Structure 1
Amino acid sequence: MNNPAEYQPWYSDPANAHPYTLHRTIKSKPQDFRGLSPFPWDKDSLSTLWKGSFYSDDNQRDWLRYVSAYWDAVAVGSNEYLHIVFTQSARPPITFKIISANQTLIDADKPCVSWTMKMSIPFEPLVLYSYGSILHIFNVAKKGFEGYQRAHGGAITSIAVHPATPDYFATTSRDHTTRIYDLRLPAVLPVHPHTRNARGRKEYNPNPHWPPGKNPSLAGAAHGLRLHPNEIEGFGPGRCVAVLMGGRSGGHNAAVLHAAFHPSFPLIATCGMDRAVKIWPFRPDDPERIKREDKPFFSSSKIHKARVLSVNWLSSDVLITHSATAMNRITPKDPENKAIYLEAGELTIWTWLSLDRFFPPEFEGRGLDTARPISSDYQESSSFKLISTHAFPPQHNHIIAPTLGVFHSPTHDPLITFVYPNAPHFTMLNPVHMKPRQVPDFPYPELNRYPADGPTEGGGGDGEGEEERDQEPEEEDDGDDAPPNPRLDKGKGKEKETVPWNSDYSAKFVPHDGDKPEVISEPIRRRVGATPPPIEGWRVELREDNSNQQAGSESERRRLMNVAVTGGGRMIVGVGTQGSIWVWRCDN
């Protein structure tokens, strides 16, 4: 029996107030900060990194000194600078100037930053920074430039570092691919355009032959091949060892927006603009050849209705994903009616049901070379189960989308934070408190249609509601002599507006001149119970209510762009407009 006086953490009950208070505000150069990555390791991380192979008493002592020097560091990125800011100590920030590549990003893209390190130099932290299609590598300890990569054909949208083997990291891009790099290998690999050199000696080329060509192909990185020696992929550490290809059999058909490595199995999950979530095998087998994957172990676009913005692992087979606002047509079967309505983005927890099939209990020590998915795995797989789905606050257009972060710790419940661009607050929640998904309604629409004001007692309505419920859309005349049907003919001759069921949504688009959508306020009816419950969590304001108001107009112009939980759950760091950094701390 649990002791009533036993200590319960604040996040165990959603009714508790959060303990975070604004501790510090840092103002830097007048540039908007959008990229954010706190130092990800603590004093106990060495026992889990590289499967514990690097753990020893001497290395542990060096590791403690290393963590004590960088535990409060956060990497913050703008369009021109990368800053390493120490949020608790008085150390000056470390600033790196980004060499401009004359690339212009769309508003949805942002600089991406992430911490990593090499096993050969584990006590020299590296920071990955991307702007456009160029990936930069900086050495924080030496305060210098380490290398760069330029293999992607589109803007990089996210960077994911392997949680157990940080030598591996992945980048997603708008070129529909995900590329995985190994920091233990140099970026440059000599590739010869011909099989023999000028002296007639045979030269090695890892690229395959593509008929009708007689020499190894030099199609380049877009096809998962090594580049011509005159077009090197990069400089310094980090060689591409695997490409998760777009299109083909089961790849993404649009921009890939996020990726996450599995903490223990050789898997990586991706999501993207095509509304699909995919789980791929991670099996680089040759440091010289690029492993090309086009058939994931799992692929489905049935989890979300709009572009999927992030994917994260909560456990070995449980994932959490979130999507943007969806644009749905009111009458999808009517090509003349272009009216659409907006449906709020969703935060979904779901289970992958095929983990034990690809990784049975006797998998220990066995490779993935013989594992092959079937077509039902990489083409709209149904091997998943939705656990919980909650809706984000409604937005007036589909472009505005929240930035979401997930905090993991072996001694702490996972915490989820999300913030909308230019918002004066952010929301934090514990996924344990998310309500389970409700049982769907009976699928036959004839039994689920109600008037806009809802059904009356006894499951029916007045005469008008009953008549509206019985009406069906007009059928096109197929030329056959069919007997008259009063039920189908009752609505003929009347112009009837067709709208979705459920009256709890107020944003609707109707076309006007130029076929551009226009927002109007009108109840939209949809099937009862189809809308997921709203997200309930702790709301953290940018400024405390009891703070003085002397800053006035200047503080009102500073808004949040990204937040992250760090320090074992005791600290939250937020970045925003005009070079602002906020630090919230939990002292209890």
Structure 2
Amino acid sequence: MDTTGAQPWYRDPSSDLPFELYSQFRLEGLHQDALRTVAFFPWGNESLGSLWDGSLATEQNYAKWNVVVNKFRDTVAIGGDTSVYILWLKRRKHPLRINIPETPEVDLIHSDTTQVAWVLSPNAIDQPLLILSRASLIWIYNPVSKGLSSYLRGHGGAITSLAVHPTRPHLFCSTSRDHSARIYDLNLAPHQGAKDSDVNPHWPPGTLPSRAGAPHGLHMNEAEGFGIARCIIVLMGGRSGGHEAAVLSASFHPQYPIIATCGVDRCIKLWHVNPRNSSQITREDKPLFSSSRIHRSRVLSVQWMSHDTLISHNPSAILRTDPTDEDNKDTYMVPGEIVVWTWLGLDRFFPPLYDDLKAEGRSQTVLRGCASDYQESSSFTMSANAAFPAIYPQLISPNVNVYQSPTHDPIALCTIPTVLPFEKKKEEHQKDKGAICVSDIHGDRSLSSLSVENLATGTPKDGETRVAGTVQIFHIPSLPHRLPSRFPLDAPPDGMPANAKVAEEGIADLPGLSRYHAELIERDPPPPFKSWTLEVPLSEFDLTSEATHAVGHGPAGGMTQAYDTRQRKVRSEKDETEKITGQEYTLKSIAEVPVSVQNAKMGMDGKVIVVLGTRGRLWVYRIQGRSRHQK
């Protein structure tokens, strides 16, 4: 918070962006999109007073805590494909590289990335830990002792995200493509299979723990892993109330025992996550809230902004022009959007006396809504929304990271990756337009707002500025406020209710529509958001390297390593193809892919921004920089 009395820069739309480029990094030996996840060290000197309700805020613990914070205050973890890097942004220290142990060969897709997150145990506050996930496995690394502390398994699909509880950082959640999410407790040891007789719950009407396989991700007879952390809750997928497709993101509520999840099924779900006991795993298949009517395509992220307000976003979507006509195959594309919305059911499940009753030991351990809560709830209202630029094709998804703190308004950073590692295979009669990837409908558009000629040809002319991409930064409270209804209740022209019209004409019923009117199915497009633009420049090395590759000489800046076959089973041969959405695509060589921005995140009290790019590039921006240097 600015203590000088001046208004913070993010509250003044006319102010200039105060960030300046502080340093650049280039990690050698990485393929073109190896760096895509980043996690700042999340705590400061005063954080101990807010963790675990301040129960550890003693003078003795503060002495230990200040030593830890001083050691890691400018630390950031960067997730690569087979390695994780710990960098010190303000101190000249050699980066620490963590090689992820080899795993059985699995079939991952391009969006399956190595996830990283910081956690902390109340039993060892002087040893912060780093969670690493790759494929369906989790490792916990101790940067103090510089060794692995734990290895965990349990998911039946690739892990898509990691979320840590903001005030109880010994709890973390992993989401997966197996339609489930799993919550772990650092204070417990992994179960050891048959040695733990009471780990699994019983399946009614049985009374004994189940020892069968795990269709819902529950424990099997094998050991869960070694070291620390045990899965205590499984949020199961399935038609009873869970996700019916891959789960992509999760966010813990800072105060109440709730976690939000979202996924490919377009649903956002809010779950009660209070475990019944520490020895037996809790399974949950019915959330307190579930709705697919907030977004029109897969939901990429969700995050709590306040006690009842959340923010979520989705990429571009292809919709049918007339979803009621089975013979009409015409489609159109709508841009992705970011939505701020409010859950209206919080006070129903957690009344004002909840905290007082909890202090007396009388809190309710089991919460269960009705069918209208966990199937298709209307208990929400949309407060604000804004649209991203239209992206073709929909394979490219905007990356959004939200930063907020008790002393800082929520700020969102949006990046749109400019390239994918494959291009559509051109037909013989198709002219070479120089595009990296071409949409079926918009064949003259490339994936980037910058033309390929601007991205992949020689050094700039005098007076020109070459950029690797841009980061859009916007103040979330300044998003356009509106209260639209995605499914209006207006009557059709003839005033006939939907169920009567379906019965008469045999048209398939539309879920969520109370009345039938095709023209009212979609609301008006949201307005584009207003933001600051951070241009990320290319270095002289990148310009020289690209100019060399434009004429076909040499590898890409020392990047001789192709895609890791352990990760994605991607062939390194340029003439091999992959089938994607029914179209034929050719894998691009590393030398053909220009340096471009992939992701960005804010941290360190909102004063530092780290931007990740292809070919192992990192850019560090800060508000008050005394010097600039390049590494």
TM-score range, shorter chain: 0.7 to 0.9
- Report if the CA contact (8 A) 2:154-2:219 is conserved: no
Q: Quick one: which of 199, 203, 217 aligns to 2:210?
A: 217
- Summarize the Cα distance change of 1:210–1:446 in structure 2 as closer, same or farther, 3 Å threshold: closer
SS at match of 2:194: coil
Cα deviation digits, residues 179-204 of structure 1 (max 9, x gap): 00001111133535xxxxxxxxxx94
* 1:371 to partner: Cα distance: 2.5
Q: AA paired with 1:175?
A: D
Instruction: Map residues 158-557 of structure 1 onto 2, 5 A cutoff.
Output: 158-191=161-194, 204-210=197-203, 216-228=209-221, 231-364=222-355, 365=358, 366-422=362-418, 424-437=469-482, 443=490, 530-543=524-537, 551-554=542-545, 557=594
Question: 1:562 corresponds to which residue?
Answer: 599
* 1:288 to partner: Cα distance: 2.1
Question: 1:468 corresponds to which residue?
Answer: none
Tell me the distance in 1 between the aligned counterparts of 2:607 and 2:504: 68
Structure scoring higher RCO (CA < 8 A, sep ≥ 6) equals 2
Tell me the distance in 1 between the aligned counterparts of 2:189 and 2:314: 37
Q: Are 1:35 and 2:37 an aligned pair?
A: yes
- Report if the CA contact (8 A) 1:407-1:566 is conserved: yes
SS at match of 1:280: strand
* 1:99 to partner: Cα distance: 1.3
- Report if the CA contact (8 A) 1:25-1:582 is conserved: yes
- Report if the CA contact (8 A) 2:172-2:184 is conserved: yes
Question: 1:482 corresponds to which residue?
Answer: none
- Report if the CA contact (8 A) 2:321-2:330 is conserved: yes
Q: AA paired with 1:172?
A: T
- Summarize the Cα distance change of 1:331–1:550 in structure 2 as closer, same or farther, 3 Å threshold: same
* 1:83 to partner: Cα distance: 0.7
- Report if the CA contact (8 A) 2:191-2:199 is conserved: no
Question: 1:115 corresponds to which residue?
Answer: 118
* 1:64 to partner: Cα distance: 1.5
Question: 1:467 corresponds to which residue?
Answer: none
* 1:412 to partner: Cα distance: 1.1
- Summarize the Cα distance change of 1:446–1:129 in structure 2 as closer, same or farther, 3 Å threshold: same
Q: Are 1:156 and 2:152 an aligned pair?
A: no
* 1:150 to partner: Cα distance: 1.2
- Report if the CA contact (8 A) 2:41-2:118 is conserved: yes
- Report if the CA contact (8 A) 1:191-1:226 is conserved: no
- Percent identity over paired residues: 41
- Report if the CA contact (8 A) 1:191-1:206 is conserved: no
Tell me the distance in 1 between the aligned counterparts of 2:153 and 2:526: 42
* 1:43 to partner: Cα distance: 1.1
- Report if the CA contact (8 A) 1:271-1:310 is conserved: yes
Tell me the distance in 2 between the aligned counterparts of 1:224 and 1:140: 30
Question: 2:554 corresponds to which residue?
Answer: none
TM value normalised by structure 1? 0.80
- Report if the CA contact (8 A) 1:26-1:580 is conserved: yes
Q: Which runs of 5+ in 2 are unaligned?
A: 419-467, 495-501, 507-517, 548-593, 626-631
* 1:248 to partner: Cα distance: 4.1
- Summarize the Cα distance change of 1:125–1:444 in structure 2 as closer, same or farther, 3 Å threshold: same
Tell me the distance in 2 between the aligned counterparts of 1:171 and 1:340: 35
SS at match of 2:365: coil
Tell me the distance in 2 between the aligned counterparts of 1:271 and 1:108: 16
SS at match of 1:63: helix
Q: AA paired with 2:115?
A: C
Question: 1:13 corresponds to which residue?
Answer: 12
* 1:559 to partner: Cα distance: 1.6
- Report if the CA contact (8 A) 1:116-1:161 is conserved: yes
SS at match of 1:159: strand
Tell me the distance in 2 between the aligned counterparts of 1:39 and 1:142: 17
Cα deviation digits, residues 347-392 of structure 1 (max 9, x gap): 0000001111111111011433242211111111111010011111
- Summarize the Cα distance change of 1:189–1:248 in structure 2 as closer, same or farther, 3 Å threshold: farther
- Report if the CA contact (8 A) 1:191-1:205 is conserved: no
SS at match of 1:185: coil
- Summarize the Cα distance change of 1:208–1:65 in structure 2 as closer, same or farther, 3 Å threshold: closer
Q: Which runs of 5+ in 1 are unaligned?
A: 193-202, 448-474, 480-499, 502-525
Tell me the distance in 1 between the aligned counterparts of 2:79 and 2:182: 21
Tell me the distance in 1 between the aligned counterparts of 2:230 and 2:522: 53
Tell me the distance in 2 between the aligned counterparts of 1:383 and 1:118: 36
- Summarize the Cα distance change of 1:219–1:307 in structure 2 as closer, same or farther, 3 Å threshold: same
Cα deviation digits, residues 285-320 of structure 1 (max 9, x gap): 222211011111110000001000000000000000
* 1:446 to partner: Cα distance: 6.2
SS at match of 1:89: coil
Q: Quick one: which of 621, 626, 629 aligns to 1:584?
A: 621
CA RMSD of aligned residues (A): 2.7
Tell me the distance in 2 between the aligned counterparts of 1:247 and 1:349: 27
SS at match of 2:140: strand
- Summarize the Cα distance change of 1:53–1:527 in structure 2 as closer, same or farther, 3 Å threshold: closer
Tell me the distance in 2 between the aligned counterparts of 1:269 and 1:184: 23
- Summarize the Cα distance change of 1:446–1:72 in structure 2 as closer, same or farther, 3 Å threshold: same
Question: 1:488 corresponds to which residue?
Answer: none
* 1:410 to partner: Cα distance: 1.1
Question: 1:91 corresponds to which residue?
Answer: 93
Larger deviation: 437-446 or 49-58?
Answer: 437-446
Q: AA paired with 2:178?
A: D
What number of residue pairs does the alignment pair up? 498
SS at match of 1:184: coil
Cα deviation digits, residues 470-505 of structure 1 (max 9, x gap): xxxxx99989xxxxxxxxxxxxxxxxxxxx98xxxx
Larger deviation: 351-360 or 92-101?
Answer: 92-101
SS at match of 1:264: coil
Tell me the distance in 2 between the aligned counterparts of 1:208 and 1:237: 21
Instruction: Map residues 68-79 of structure 1 onto 2, 5 A cutoff.
Output: 68-79=70-81
Larger deviation: 152-161 or 23-32?
Answer: 23-32
* 1:219 to partner: Cα distance: 2.5
* 1:553 to partner: Cα distance: 4.2
Q: AA paired with 1:432?
A: P
Tell me the distance in 2 between the aligned counterparts of 1:527 and 1:295: 28
Q: AA paired with 1:127?
A: L
- Report if the CA contact (8 A) 1:283-1:368 is conserved: no
Q: AA paired with 2:333?
A: L
Tell me the distance in 2 between the aligned counterparts of 1:371 and 1:428: 38
Cα deviation digits, residues 446-489 of structure 1 (max 9, x gap): 69xxxxxxxxxxxxxxxxxxxxxxxxxxx99989xxxxxxxxxx
Larger deviation: 429-438 or 213-222?
Answer: 213-222
Tell me the distance in 1 between the aligned counterparts of 2:204 and 2:365: 26
- Summarize the Cα distance change of 1:221–1:90 in structure 2 as closer, same or farther, 3 Å threshold: farther
* 1:217 to partner: Cα distance: 2.3
SS at match of 1:386: strand
Larger deviation: 34-43 or 327-336?
Answer: 327-336
* 1:226 to partner: Cα distance: 2.9
